Structure 1
Amino acid sequence: MIKHTLLSVNDFRLRREKLFASLPDNSIAVFAANNEVTRSNDTEYLFCQDKNFYYLTGFNEPDALLVMVKSAQNSCYLFCREKDELQEVWHGRRIGQENAKADYGFDHAYTLADIEQMLPELINGKAALYYLQGANPSLDLQVASWLKQVKAGSRTGNKAPQTLVDAKPLLDDMRLFKSENELTIMRQVNVISGGAHQRAMEKSAVGKFEYQIEAEILHEFARHGARFAAYNSIVAGGDNANILHYTDNCEVLADNDLLLIDAGGELAGYAADITRTFPINGKFTDAQKAIYQLVLDSQIAAIEAIKPGCNFAHLNTLVGEILTTGLYDLGILQGDLAELINENACKKYFIHGLGHWLGLDVHDVGDYQANDKREQLRAFETGMVMTIEPGIYIPATDESVDAKWRGIGVRIEDNIAVTDQGHENLTVNAPKSVHDIEALMARS
């Protein structure tokens, strides 16, 4: 069992202080928590907090509101559910206003019923209002209502903000760079998730259902403290691997097929995102091994190139050349090799991006600085975390290739942090070489 690192109240306070430093004087910023979502009739989905709200507060109750007032003395207000013995008996304990201040470091805490009176008062006289525009339709409507109330009092001296600003760019850039405490959590959730991929390899067998392997993965997450999956797990046997976001996970595992698993746990809000592909019967066929090794070679080359100053555009060029050359050598792509490389012909079979930012969200926030050619030019910097996930997908219906290649889908994905010296692969315990996979499965 891993002894988990959790973020402290001070971690969240420092984030608010950093955001305050980016706000102009005499401004106000408003951030809303998520609401509970009905699953059916009187049952709800398990609650998942809005990631931006969580990033700034660490507060994990629905319906709350964070208000940050930038002035000579910066102040943070939290509006949240009040203590209620009857509701707590039925639905669980609430933090309440006193604990919100004592345990979460807010300057002021009020009930949800106080919002409609206090927000127009807090907004009045501010030069600028920051919020996540368009992210929460309910908040958009509330902001419009509050502004209307302030403007209605203009004859008595009320003054509404002249500037409404989307806070997303500020928070996106903050979240893109992980602190050492965040990296520690992401290392831990990678170890948990890597163990789950090991378990999947050990438990896979011809005749089992994909969902049975998914259950083994979720079991491994939970027993090591990652109670939730970071996203719906993809457990795709055979040709199902050629459906990129396959989550039905309902078919029987067949002999001589590969099993592609894209699954990661969530720990303290932070996601792992790992993909492994392996033979269900424990032994790669020659064709499977050839495709698999090509994908692995391209992934290793991309990871080795990661360092400050590099970018996704460079990695895409590198991987594109390796995959195109490899597919040409295997006879899957035909023509003039130089022309194929120039045309990035591998994209016929490598149909998604090479990677994405990773953090509180699986596809985490952060600008890639793509140009009009969709080249992602943002230079990597220390503290960024990304996935690297090349793949080759040859549908069973592709009659342009030899039958031995049809139905093979391979993706290999690790989580990489940029360091001062280069990079750190956080995905340390999920086997990915042909030898290591076959050796593990032979022992199970």
Structure 2
Amino acid sequence: MTGQVDTSAFVERRARLAARMEPGAVAVLATAPELLRNGDSEYPYRHDSYFYYLTGYTEPESVLVLVAALGDAPARAILFCREKNVEREIWDGFRYGPEAARATFGFDEAYPIGELDAQMAGLLANAPALYYALGHSAALDAQVSGWLKAVRAKSRTGIAAPSTTHHLLGILDEMRLLKDAGEQALMGRAASIAAGAHARAMRFTRPGVFEYEIEAELLHEFRRHGAQFPAYTPIVASGANACVLHYNANNRPCLDGQLVLVDAGCELDGYASDITRTWPVNGRFSAPQRALYELVLQAQQAAFAAIVPGRPYSDVHTAAVNVLAGGMLELGLIDRTKYGTVEDAVLEKAHLPFYMHGTGHWLGMDVHDVGPYRDLTLPDRPSRPLLPGMALTVEPGIYVRPGEGVPEEFWNIGIRIEDDVIVSESGCRILSGDAPKSVADIETLMGER
């Protein structure tokens, strides 16, 4: 457990953060707490993403303190963590303890978590500013208040508390938005595992299986290839269930003639994948299903083409909506007598009954990853430009519920197609392309069952 760990990325990120802080300022970042599920059983533990981004450390009860350089004094990265406890390790498993954690993860200093309150007063004394996750945790807010009170109590001795407080997470959001080569490699591996799981689920699907049986195939494939968790609760939605965007009961039988929409991704070493595929339960698309499916696929291709460095993020959604609205007019989902052109239909939002969500989101350590979608530095807050290294999903869809004026052959059909991409220097790189997607590829794969 104390073998060689490549800490270079974490050390470099801490250095970048320290360089953005005021000289001599102090940053504090805690990991996630353990939570009880019921009785004395805890939820499976998952570290805080921000904390892991800067430390690579996954144990609970841990706090990072970063002191920015000041004059000749270099920056310092200090970890507070659980003490080594051989008796608790018999019950709960290995823990590093401060000394091994310092040596393994490249911290300058490390101390038992029980010393945090006592040491923070000294670390904050005469620091010009404090950076922490304002309002993120009531417990941390209370601790910070106590630390500052302790420092102010020494004001008569010439010691001053930080005069300003900064929100730390906004800075980290911008850092996390651009994925380095190591992050991209992990995300590619997570996407490859999830793509294989979708292919496995397609092969398994047939009339009469329950949605939860398909879910089990996905989870088996995730874990079999080393993923630690599903990145979110899988959606396995057959028939009309596919028209419920966040359906996850996964308890209905899949019937002959229906489609099944599967939205499922895994988490590998802290990074998420997020893939959606839609396929026929019996292995063959009907004509109405194929028409809508091909429309969504065309919309996704248009969205891919809009992913170019320098173009606004919003162009991705606009490209997909224009294709979808045009197809809805042709198929009679949108009344052409009311909306004569695609432009009219989009302007009046006539597509919203059938496509009501955005075309994607940032992806990374969190499945809906951090970072604003608008440039908050400009007065009108325009959509921010895409940059190489950004990671996002592209997921157009169409969801047709029964209704007056809606062609009956499309009723209760829900389709979404979602892939994970990285913005490259010339366009976009699709990470999840191994998951079968074309009508021909899906029908061929399912025909091999």
Separation in 2, partners of 1:236, 1:400: 25
The structural deviation recorded for 1:197 is 0.4
Check if 1:68 corresponds to 2:80.
no
Residue 84 of structure 1 corresponds to 85
In structure 1, what is the Cα distance between the partners aligned to 2:309 and 2:155? Answer: 52
Q: Deviations over 1:395-420 (max 9, x none)?
A: 2x433312211100000000111111
Aligned to 1:146: 147
CA contact (8 A) 1:325 1:337 kept: no
Query: Of 391, 395, 420, which aligns to 2:397?
Result: 391
- 1:228-377 equivalent positions in 2, closer than 5 A: 228-334=229-335, 335-338=338-341, 339-369=344-374, 377=383
Once structures 1 and 2 are overlaid, which stretch shifts more, 295-304 or 341-350?
341-350
Mapping 1:213-224, distance limit 5 Å: 213-224=214-225
Change (3 A) 1:261 1:375: farther
1:322-377 C-alpha deviation (Å, 9 max, x unpaired): 111100100110022322133232122111111111000000001111799x9961
**1:416 and 2:421 are equivalent in the alignment:** yes
Corresponding position: 1:438 with 2:439: no
Distance 2:314 2:279 in 1: 29
Cα pair 1:386 1:416 within 8 Å, conserved: yes
TM-score (norm 1): 0.96
* Structure 1 residue 40 displacement after superposition: 0.6
SS at match of 1:194: helix
Query: Aligned pair count?
Result: 437
Post-superposition CA distance 1:80-129 (Å, at most 9, x none): 00011111111111110111111000111100110110011101110100
Is 2:32 the partner of 1:31? Answer: no
Give 1:156 shift. 2.0
CA distance in 1, matches of 2:164, 2:381: 33
Question: Which residue is 1:18 aligned to?
Answer: 16
Distance 2:312 2:354 in 1: 23
Q: AA paired with 1:442?
A: G
Gaps of 5+ in 1: 1-5
Query: Aligned letter for 1:336?
Result: Y
Cα pair 2:421 2:431 within 8 Å, conserved: yes
Contact map agreement 1:129 1:165 (CA 8 A) in 2: yes
Contact 1:321 1:344 in 2 (8 A): no
Structure 2, unpaired ranges of 5+: none
Q: Find the aligned partners of 2:113 and 2:5 in 1 and give their Cα distance.
A: 26
Alpha-carbon distance between aligned partners in 1 of 2:82 and 2:15, rounded to the nearest angstrom: 25
TM-score (norm. length: structure 2):
0.95
Moved more, 102-111 or 338-347: 338-347
Residues 228 and 269 in structure 2, CA contact (< 8 A), matched pair in contact too: no
**Does the 8 Å CA contact 1:229/1:263 hold for their aligned counterparts?**
yes
Pick which of 398-407 and 141-150 moved more.
398-407
Give secondary structure in 1 for the equivalent of 2:447.
helix
User: SS in structure 2 opposite 1:348?
Assistant: coil
Q: Secondary structure at the match of 1:349?
A: coil
Q: Take 1:78 and 1:375, find their aligned partners in 2: how far apart are those partners? A: 37
Residues in 2 aligned to 1:171 and 1:427: alpha-carbon distance in whole angstroms:
26
2:388 alignment partner in structure 1: 382
**Match in the other structure for 1:404:** 409
Q: Secondary structure at the match of 1:345?
A: coil
**Cα offset, 1:160, TM superposition:** 0.6
SS at match of 1:155: helix
Tell me the distance in 1 between the aligned counterparts of 2:404 and 2:259.
Answer: 20
Task: Report the Cα distance in structure 2 between the residues aligned to 1:129 and 1:110, rounded to whole angstroms.
Answer: 20
Mapped partners of 2:316, 2:381: distance in 1: 10
Partner of 1:3: none
1:227 maps to a residue whose letter is: Q
CA-atom RMSD, angstroms? 1.6
**2:102 is the counterpart of 1:101:** yes
Tell me how far apart the structure 2 counterparts of residues 115 and 227 of structure 1 sit (CA, whole Å). 30
Task: Please give the per-residue CA displacement for 1:246-279, whole angstroms capped at 9, x wherever unaligned.
Answer: 1111111111111000000111100000000010
Distance 1:375 1:412, change over 3 A: farther
- Provide the residue aligned with 1:175 in structure 2: 176
Q: Percent identity, aligned pairs only?
A: 45
Instruction: Give distance in 2, aligned partners of 1:328 and 1:110.
Output: 65
Cα distance, 1:259–1:370 mapped onto 2, change above 3 Å: farther
Letter in 2 for 1:252: P
Q: Does 1:48 align with 2:54?
A: no
Assess if the C-alpha contact under 8 Å between 1:196 and 1:216 holds in 2: yes
CA contact (8 A) 1:350 1:391 kept: yes
Structure 1 residue 422, shift from structure 2 partner: 1.4
The one-letter amino acid of 2:50's match is: N
More displaced 10-residue stretch of structure 1: 24-33 or 67-76: 67-76
Contact in 2 for aligned 1:313/1:375 (Cα 8 Å): no
- Detail structure 1 runs of 4+ shifted over 4 Å in the superposition: none
Q: Deviations over 1:124-178 (max 9, x none)?
A: 1101000111222211111111111111221222211010100112100100000
